[in-house]
Amino acid sequence: MPSKSLDDLVSFFKSCQQELLQAFQALDKDCILSTSPWQRPDNGGGGVMGVIRGPAIEKAGANFSEVHGKEYPAIEGEHKGKPFKAMGISTICHPYNPHAPIAHMNLRFLQVGEDAWWFGGGADLTPFIPYEKDTQAFHAALQSPCDAYENGAYQKFKAWCDEYFYIPHRQSPRGVGGVFFDYLSGDFQKIYEFVRGVGKAYIDAYPRILEERLKCDFTQEEKEGQLYWRGRYAEFNLAWDRGTRFGLMTGGNPEAIFVSLPPVVKW
């Protein structure tokens, strides 16, 4: 893999982090941003955790990481024990207003051994109070880069998202979906442009949805319901999410990994 290609990828992931944090700050003028660099042991790379807390954006995170190690975690038997490199951007937002949806995006690149590499990631919307207008806008934004990438990609990645973000013990989807993809390999530049497109679509679409929904009036009953709904989000991330397991198994920063969890939740 050419080093320049990976350098460009790192720059893109870092720019996504900055754009997301700036977008959240613009939506909540009274929020507080904290950024924390972290390092893995034995010079194994690290990252930067960015967290926003405020009255409107109750908790949002945008994290960049670039890590490497001698042995790929055992969750992938084919590549077990090989040296690896992983980098990516992960973001989550938990708004205070129950009409404003939770949203998540993760874009990542992994290289294992001498020549195995792939992209993965996706984005999904998790409203407590769904609005069809928001669902359509979110999906339309993500469909554009999918259609440019490959015929049928949107339907394939949409179905994969619905399958992945299903909560088995609740027998319920986590939200209204989006796209999810993994193990994309082959033409590096083509896949890279697709991943860039997904990132840009999310950064454009989600803040627009938030801006409108943060203005909605809500009742105490709706707020109470939102806190219980958040419990399902926490359950999925702790029990089923592969990214959570991968981060912990590769010595990632636990605070950055668990920034995805809701700030206040009820069961």
Catalytic sites, residue numbers: 104
The alpha carbon torsion through 169, 62, 47, 158 (nearest 10 deg) reads 50
Report d(CA 76, CA 183) in Å as an integer.
Answer: 12
Show the CA angle centred on residue 255, arms to residues 11 and 231, nearest 5°: 110
Collapsed DSSP state (helix, strand, coil) of residue 129? coil
Q: How many CA atoms lie within 13 A of 173 on its CB side?
A: 16
Let me know if 182 is exposed, middle or buried by CB neighbors in 10 A (0-12, 13-18, 19+).
middle
Collapsed DSSP state (helix, strand, coil) of residue 65? strand
- Strands (DSSP E) contained in the chain are 32-39, 45-53, 59-69, 84-94, 102-112, 116-126, 166-167, 172-173, 177-184
